[in-house]
Each structure stands twice: as structure tokens, then as C-alpha cells.
């Protein structure tokens, strides 16, 4: 019993600090920069590989969007201070996996990690992610067990925690809300773009194209386009979110 309480406390503590995970992973990745080389010694080839890694991150974002697009209020979101749940969500992607948001997070973070083609980095990231989120998932599930009892257990017994099953999908009763996704996930898309731009610039600088007296000299056209489009998108959506109710969806 004491062990359960200790794990629950650890999980709730980590839950409150989970917004700092991307920063920690970014530092791990930048450490791997010291031995980084362009794929096939070609910036263009490396750019194509970076695009493939970016797609992995977009796949993770797509998983999160699928969750949020159908989720009712107070079931899935960015609550960082405490556990919140008014119902046990058993529809949509929750009919395939118990923690789809964390699966999405894993794929989002995996893209930048894969960029460095560093097996030790991949192992450290996987172990860190597994330990960190295992504690959070334990705390969340204890909260749901305590609150919903047998209703939660009946669902959890049939649904895997992290690796989805591919049968038994239950169509959500609520319709899909693109506005809710736009309101809640626009920072994630911009964050992914910024991380890949930073890595591309840092790699170019490290490999020898850069000069500390003229650090802007290694900025490339793909970096400018990616950051420019991302910044414009982020700014426009943020203004809409902060100054209007266009993206407010009742019950979401």
C-alpha cells in the first residue's frame, strides 16, 4: 500500500512538470550535435531525411489531434496542475488505447531524436520517456480507479495502455471539432517547426559552414520558409484565440 501511494505521489509530481519534458529532450539532442554529420555528407540529402523525421512528429501531432477533435470537456487536455475527469472516455481512439495523448507525445518527440541518427540517444530517450510517463500513467489510472471504480476497470481490462489495438473501434457520439484542435494544438505545431529549424541551423553551423562573427550566414532558405510560415500561423491563431471566441466550442 505504501508503494502504491509513493508511486502515486511521484506520478502527480511528474504530471505537474511534464511541460518541461521537451526542453530536457532538446538538451539531450543538442548534446548529440557534437558528433553529428550530414547524411551522405550532403545538406540536401540530410534535408530530405529531416523531412521524414518531421513527418514522424506530425504523426504524433495527428494522434493528439484525433483525441482532442472528439474529446468532450474535462477529459483530455493540457491540465498541468491536477488530474481532471468528469467521465471515463471510452470512445474514439480511447476504444483502442488508454493513453493516446502520451502515445502522440512519444511520436512527436521521437522525430527530433531520430534526426541525429544516434542509437545511444534513442535508447536514453526511450528509457527516460518510459520511466517518466509510466509514473504519470500510474497516477492517472489510480485517480480514475478511485473516482469511477468498476466502470473504469471494465474498460481498462480490455484496452492496452500504450500500444494500440487495431480492432473494436467505437465511433464517438460527439462530432469532430477542427476549431477545438486549432485552439489547443497550434503551439505544438509551431514548436515542432522551431525545433527542426534549430537543429538544421545548429547542424549547419557545427559542420563548418558557420562563423561566430556572422552566425546569420548559415541560415538557409528552407529554414526561413519553415520558420516564417510557422511564426505567421502561430501569431494569427494566437491573436484569434486571445481576442475572439471564434474557436470556442460548447462542451469542448
Tell me which of 3.40.350.10, 1.10.260.40, 1.20.120.1630, 3.40.50.300 is the CATH number of domain 2-177: 1.20.120.1630
Q: How far apart are CA 151 and CA 196, in angstroms?
A: 42
Query: Cell numbers of 198, please?
Result: 534549430
Q: What tens digit of pLDDT does each residue of 98-111 get?
A: 999 999 999 999 99
Spatial separation of the C-alpha atoms in residues 99 and 67, rounded to whole Å: 10
- Measured CA to CA, the distance from residue 124 to residue 25 in angstroms comes to 10
Whole-number Å distance between alpha carbons of 121 and 110:
11
Name 170's bridge partners: 92
CA gap 44, 67 in Å, rounded: 35
pLDDT tens digits, one per residue of 21-49: 667 777 888 788 888 999 998 999 999 99
pTM of the model: 0.85
Amino acid at each position: 500500500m505504501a508503494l502504491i501511494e509513493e508511486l502515486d505521489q511521484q506520478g502527480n509530481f511528474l504530471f505537474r512538470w511534464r511541460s518541461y519534458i521537451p526542453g530536457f529532450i532538446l538538451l539531450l539532442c543538442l548534446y548529440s550535435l557534437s558528433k553529428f554529420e550530414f547524411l551522405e555528407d550532403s545538406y540536401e540529402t540530410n534535408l530530405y531525411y529531416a523531412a521524414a523525421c518531421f513527418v514522424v512528429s506530425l504523426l504524433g501531432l495527428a494522434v493528439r489531434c484525433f483525441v482532442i477533435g472528439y474529446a468532450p470537456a474535462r477529459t483530455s487536455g493540457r491540465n498541468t496542475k491536477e488530474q481532471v475527469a468528469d467521465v471515463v472516455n471510452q470512445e474514439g481512439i480511447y476504444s483502442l488505447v488508454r493513453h493516446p495523448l502520451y502515445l502522440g507525445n512519444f511520436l512527436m518527440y521521437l522525430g527530433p531524436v531520430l534526426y541525429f541518427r544516434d542509437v545511444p540517444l534513442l535508447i536514453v530517450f526511450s528509457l527516460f520517456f518510459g520511466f517518466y510517463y509510466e509514473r504519470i500513467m500510474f497516477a492517472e489510472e489510480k485517480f480514475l480507479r478511485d473516482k469511477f471504480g468498476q466502470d473504469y476497470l471494465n474498460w481498462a481490462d480490455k484496452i492496452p495502455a500504450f500500444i494500440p489495438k487495431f480492432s473494436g473501434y467505437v465511433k464517438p457520439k460527439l462530432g469532430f471539432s477542427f476549431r477545438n484542435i486549432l485552439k489547443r494544438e497550434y503551439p505544438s505545431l509551431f514548436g515542432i517547426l522551431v525545433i527542426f529549424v534549430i537543429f538544421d541551423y545548429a547542424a549547419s553551423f557545427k559542420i563548418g559552414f558557420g562563423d561566430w562573427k556572422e552566425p546569420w550566414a548559415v541560415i538557409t532558405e528552407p529554414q526561413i520558409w519553415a520558420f516564417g510560415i510557422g511564426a505567421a500561423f502561430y501569431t494569427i491563431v494566437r491573436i484569434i484565440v486571445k481576442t475572439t471566441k471564434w474557436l470556442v466550442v460548447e462542451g469542448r
